[in-house]
Amino acid sequence: MKHTFVLASLCLAAAACVTPEAHRQALGANSALQAEIAGMAESQRQLAAENERLRSQVADLSKRAADAAWIDEQKQKLSSLLAKYGAGTPAADSGVELVSTPEGYAFRVAGGVLFASGQAALTEQGKKTLADLATSLEGRRVRVEGHTDDVPIQRSQWGTNLRLSVERAMAVADFLTHTGGLPANRVGVAGYGEFRPAVQGTDDPARQKNRRVEILLLDP
């Protein structure tokens, strides 16, 4: 008990030796330390945010580089197609031309090459043409679009030009997927009948030009 009393007395004496100025300085040093710790925490937060930004930027640049490489590849493929089929000029004996549309490039195949008059079954020449064309469509998304001239159907089983255009587009799409090897989930179909003519006019050359199937390249 005696020793305890002595120790307590010494502690009180030591506390009494701390001057108000020293106490203020101790408090100031503690506040400065706390501020320094807070500043370090903020710097660490900013560094983490900057690191995340740079990581995102690197990922974005990597994606852009990959996209640029893909675009260059597609441009090279398109250049090859243009050299093979020409632009706006049917390739010899194929009845195929590569044309520019508001939605992109499309292969335009003459209806007379693909089908007999009023029919939706592919001719042998049509199958050969599509088989050759399928190699140029590998890896692409496409939409097969059927078109007719403006002469109303009178004795055909199809009833309307719109129905005939859809059936012809389906026949081409089926060939491209079943024989040409294109994945079915990358081939769409549309039929427009006589409502989207390639050229204006009601004479035989214009109507022959409008009877066609177009294979639209949906990839950029």
Asked if the structure places residue 168 within a domain, the reply is yes
What are the residues facing 97 on neighbouring strands? 108
Tell me, yes or no, whether 113 and 30 share the same domain.
Answer: no
- One-letter amino acid identity for 48? A
Asked if the structure places residue 79 within a domain, the reply is no
Tell me, yes or no, whether 39 and 119 share the same domain.
Answer: no
Tell me, yes or no, whether 128 and 93 share the same domain.
Answer: yes
- Residue 173's nearest CA partner among 164, 183, 159, 161 is 183
Quote helix, strand, coil % in the chain, to nearest 5.
Answer: 60, 15, 25
Q: How many CA atoms lie within 13 A of 46 on its CB side?
A: 6
pLDDT at 165: 97
Tell me, yes or no, whether 125 and 179 share the same domain.
Answer: yes
pLDDT at 160: 94
d(CA 88, CA 90): 7
Tell me, yes or no, whether 121 and 178 share the same domain.
Answer: yes
Q: How many CA atoms lie within 13 A of 100 on its CB side?
A: 4
Domain limits at 54?
2-60
Phi, psi at 88, each rounded to 5°: 85, 0
Give the CATH number for residue 170.
3.30.1330.60
Q: How many CA atoms lie within 13 A of 45 on its CB side?
A: 6
d(CA 207, CA 97): 17
The total domain count for the chain is 2
- Quick: pLDDT tens for 158-197: 899 999 999 999 999 999 999 999 999 999 999 999 999 9
Give 114's pLDDT tier (boundaries 50, 70, 90).
very high
Tell me, yes or no, whether 160 and 213 share the same domain.
Answer: yes
| Strand stretches in the chain, DSSP E | 96-101, 104-110, 142-147, 187-191, 212-217
- Quick: pLDDT tens for 120-159: 999 999 999 999 899 889 989 999 999 999 999 887 788 9
Tell me, yes or no, whether 18 and 115 share the same domain.
Answer: no
d(CA 176, CA 170): 10
